[in-house]
């Protein structure tokens, strides 16, 4: 194991944890990290880091909403109608992304890998989505058309936004929250549902990528590196999710649109100057 593996591991864990839940697109930032640090030149130990990072961010969501997950589990066991309804909405929200991934996942990944220009364009689109979602949320509040519950239509709409986030540069958290707010879901409920629905695709990605660990178990040195990434991504993911809750509820989450616009412009400009 090389020292550059540790550098890449710590950076990767931090970036994955922070950007997975803030509305700035984790896929865009991880592609930037790969481009700058040259992931392809690292050892095979570093190439398995996405598996561990996903496990860390999944853990952070389970920790953040452990009461809700426990309530769903016990409610389903007791055949509670509300628990079954919430579970159904979460599963419904996962369908569009699952279908899109099966049909076009590899194609999208191949088309965008290393192409910072298109990632920059998608970041600009994320900025538009954030501002649009906040504007619709404020309009609905003025019209007194806000609900504390997530409808089936809102869950499906958020699921379509989650499918759109397969494109690197489109923020999953930002897009799903913008859609839920725009469809009249109250802020706290919108953030909670958007983060809880992310457990399914993150868990799915973990299962798909985890096959690599089964085929190639890590040695003791690699296990230490993996544990470090797991802890870093879980800790930063939890902090980022808490920050997301705060900025959405207090109505300044859409300011991340400026960050997305600046970063997107930089990526587009850099790509044009270096090609």
Tokens of 183: 């469809």
**Do 270 and 116 touch, CB atoms closer than 8 A?**
yes
Cα distance between residue 20 and residue 218, in whole Å: 25
Q: What percent of the chain has pLDDT over 70?
A: 87
Distances (CA, A) of 167 to 6, 46, 59, 112, 175: 28, 23, 24, 8, 12
Tokens of 228: 């470090």
Cα distance between residue 201 and residue 58, in whole Å: 10
| pLDDT 10s digits, 24-45 | 999 899 888 877 766 544 455 5
Is residue 178's pLDDT more than 80?
Answer: yes
Please give the model's pTM, rounded to 2 decimal places. Answer: 0.92
**Do 64 and 206 touch, CB atoms closer than 8 A?**
no
**Stretch among 4-13, 243-252, 253-262 having the lowest mean pLDDT:** 4-13
- Domain ranges within the chain, ordered by starting residue: 3-274
Helix H or strand E encompassing 102: helix 81-112
CA Rg value for the chain = 19
Cα distance between residue 62 and residue 38, in whole Å: 32
Cα distance between residue 96 and residue 100, in whole Å: 6
């Amino acid at each position: 194991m090389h020292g550059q593996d540790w550098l890449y591991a710590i950076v990767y864990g931090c970036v994955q944890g922070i950007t997975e839940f803030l509305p700035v697109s984790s896929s865009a930032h991880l592609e930037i990290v790969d481009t700058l640090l040259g992931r392809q030149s690292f050892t095979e130990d570093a190439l398995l880091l996405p598996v561990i990072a996903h496990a860390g961010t999944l853990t952070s969501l389970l920790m953040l909403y452990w009461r809700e997950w426990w309530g769903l589990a016990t409610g389903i066991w007791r055949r509670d109608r509300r628990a079954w309804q919430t579970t159904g909405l979460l599963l419904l929200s996962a369908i569009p992304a699952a279908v899109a991934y099966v049909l076009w996942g590899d194609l999208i990944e191949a088309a965008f890998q290393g192409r910072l220009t298109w990632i920059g364009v998608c970041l600009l689109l994320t900025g538009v989505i954030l501002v649009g979602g906040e504007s619709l949320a404020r309009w609905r509040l003025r019209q007194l058309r806000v609900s504390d519950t997530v409808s089936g239509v809102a869950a499906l709409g958020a699921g379509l936004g989650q499918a759109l986030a397969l494109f690197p540069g489109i923020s999953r958290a930002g897009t799903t929250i913008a859609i839920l707010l725009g469809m009249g879901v109250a802020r706290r409920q919108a953030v909670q549902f958007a983060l809880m629905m992310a457990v399914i695709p993150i868990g799915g990605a973990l299962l798909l990528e985890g096959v690599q660990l089964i085929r190639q178990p890590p040695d003791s040195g690699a296990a230490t590196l993996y544990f470090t990434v797991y802890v870093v991504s879980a800790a930063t993911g939890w902090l980022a999710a808490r920050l997301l809750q705060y900025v959405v509820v207090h109505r300044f989450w859409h300011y991340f649109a400026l960050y997305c616009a600046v970063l997107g412009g930089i990526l587009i400009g850099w790509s044009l100057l270096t090609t």
